[in-house]
Chains A and B, each alone.
Chain A
């Protein structure tokens, strides 16, 4: 006890201090406090992660952090950065120069492969859309956009300006891209028509019986070979004769 107190001889003048024990109730309070602190700390800390800002713990399936974004919103943003230059924000194109997308049979038809192929590799030469003739050159976009991005652009294009056709998925774009990977030049319209109009896998099959929009009956392409479903003789055929994938 006396070692806590100053001796009288020293010049330092600390007050005296007793040495009673800490009251039991205080010890109990401390114990409770530490227990509470531990529980609170580990419940509400979000795993001590630096990117968890919401302190409420999430039980059950984690959200995973991925946000589902509407492809039409994304597609519109992407469309607005490039495609809009020629095809215009109204989707009407420019008379005599750039074909319209609104009401276009290429956009709305079941021949989704044609649509995808055109965007991937580009198109040049004469083509008729909605009864009007166009003869221009559209660049290849396959190097610019990923499958997901192209799919969202095409989904958007198929859903705006009065268009109402089923969405295009990234898988569909991927299949076409893979099948056409050896093609280096832009298409001409006759060549496009020779491509199988749609893949018979899930995406294509699901589109049977959907609204056809403007079916291929419109718009006579000037090219002679009018059978849209002949795969055999065109230069970039799908490798397997039957475009069926399981």
Chain B
């Protein structure tokens, strides 16, 4: 058995009735999420090709429903709602089940929720392709589809929170706070933003205020809490040590809760919104560093002494990369909120890069790590091809590093050029060509990585074999420390 599978099995206690009760909806979410991940990565590749080589055949020019303006929202929505939210809900439900100790009594409703959610995402993607998108980032799904998603969220949220309410007596754990928060906040913010922007179109710039509020809250109060909850659970389990301190966890949670909702309006810098709203957003972005430092410190001091032993622990590497990206993402966000830098970076690749940092380098990587750990437990199987996991990790690391540097540096150049009115927009376009090429290459790497992961998930879900004959048999499966082996 490969080292990776061994490492995963060492996640202490065996599967119990609580986990088994949550199995069906969680696996539906995971399986569908892997599909959305693959589709989203494909559309991302199409999209960056359309930016760099719009006339090449692989950019599918002239096909209206696959054009740039459609492929970009499809990519983003697949990643946010299909992959990150879907997998996030699955991870959240699993974590809540484990931590609250309450078996899920009637799994049929969450299963309905899971199906509704994915059907909604599918309908939404089709609507965007068909030319019914709303043109607002993250809220492109038309009204009826948004309603379906909201229904799914209500069902899931209700079950999640009820698991917490009926939990085993005793102290609550950090992850539970984050998850209760997330499952309460997301339906609320999604309903508000969708309702006010789609059916009840309120006039004027209030639309933009609410839209940008939603974008900030989506990242900080939905995806971030789930990722943090997963980190707080898995990191101490893997290294076998307690989380450094409860108090930093408290600071981290309440800081996120209080400041997270105010961060989105940074996009409106210099725009037609009252100055105080932008200023409040700036302050929130900077003060977010407090909970971020608290959480990062907590994680660091928890795993600090275990690096040597666990250097080859694959899921741990995902979690640690994600944690590092968490710090970088929020630091960049705080830096960009100062107007001196913000006005330079405002309409450039830097803000896109910042978004990808948060969504893909932080949340996605943590979700990957979590899925690698959870899926075998729920299925009672091992990952058939650990090499796929290695490919996944390395291609992602290189691709994300590449795209991070590329977009920030390219965006800075773009920003300086935009500030100089003598440089025309066409000239700026010429300036950024090399960066578009690097972006293309980076996304290709990420695409390969994510396809590997999706394939691995499909294989483990669909193929019942337990151990592949080609894998070298482990000498003993009873050792408590993993061997350093090439898995």
Contact = CB atoms under 8 A, between A and B. Distances in A.
A touching B, CB within 8 angstroms = yes
Interface of A: 3-7, 10-23, 26, 29-30, 33-34, 36-37, 40-41, 44-55
Contact of B243 (A3, A16, A47): A16
Given A11-B168, A26-B293, A46-B274, A16 B339 contact: no
Chain B interface size range: 35 or more
B275 to A, nearest CB: 4
Contacts of B236: 15-17
27 contacts: A4-B246, A5-B171, A6-B173, A10-B101, A12-B98, A12-B100, A13-B99, A15-B243, A16-B236, A16-B243, A17-B174, A17-B249, A18-B244, A19-B247, A21-B245, A30-B251, A30-B290, A40-B279, A44-B282, A45-B275, A46-B276, A46-B279, A52-B275, A53-B273, A53-B274, A53-B275, A55-B275
A5 to B, nearest CB: 7
Contacts of B244: 18, 20
Given A26-B294, A33-B286, 7 more contacts: A15-B233, A15-B236, A16-B236, A17-B173, A19-B247, A26-B293, A52-B274
A22 B297 CA distance: 10
Interface string B1-27: 000000000001100101000000000
A70 B248 CA distance: 62
B203 interface: no
A22 B290 CA distance: 12
B167 A29 contact: no
B437 to A, nearest CB: 38
A13 B94 CA distance: 12
Nearest to A20: B245
Contacts of B64: none
B286 A37 contact: yes
B448 interface: no
Interface string B260-282: 00000000000011111011101
Interface of B: 12-13, 16, 18, 98-101, 167-168, 170-171, 173-176, 232-233, 236-237, 242-249, 251, 272-276, 278-280, 282-283, 286-287, 289-290, 293-294, 297, 339
Contacts of A26: 248, 251, 293-294, 297
A53 B243 CA distance: 46
Interface of A is mostly: loop
Nearest to B172: A14
Contacts of A3: 171
Nearest to B259: A37
B22 to A, nearest CB: 13
B276 A52 contact: yes
A4 B171 CA distance: 6
Nearest to A5: B171
Q: What 3 A-B pairs are tightest by C-beta distance, nearest first?
A: A12-B101, A16-B242, A45-B276
Contact of B293 (A7, A12, A29): A29
A26 B237 CA distance: 26
A46 B278 CA distance: 11
B283 A37 contact: yes
A9 to B, nearest CB: 10
A246 B286 CA distance: 63
A3 to B, nearest CB: 5
Contacts of A53: 272-275
B245 A19 contact: yes
Contacts of B274: 46, 48-53
A17 B246 contact: yes
Contacts of B16: 11
Given A44-B279, A45-B275, A14 B99 contact: yes
Contacts of A15: 173, 232-233, 236-237, 242-243
A70 to B, nearest CB: 26
A36 to B, nearest CB: 7
Contacts of B168: 10-12
A15 B171 CA distance: 12
A48 B276 contact: yes
A129 B274 CA distance: 56
A197 B101 CA distance: 99
A40 B283 contact: yes
Nearest to A56: B275
Contacts of A50: 274
Nearest to B97: A12
A55 B247 contact: no
Nearest to A47: B276
B245 A13 contact: no
A238 B334 CA distance: 72
A171 B317 CA distance: 81
Contacts of B237: 15
A55 B18 CA distance: 54
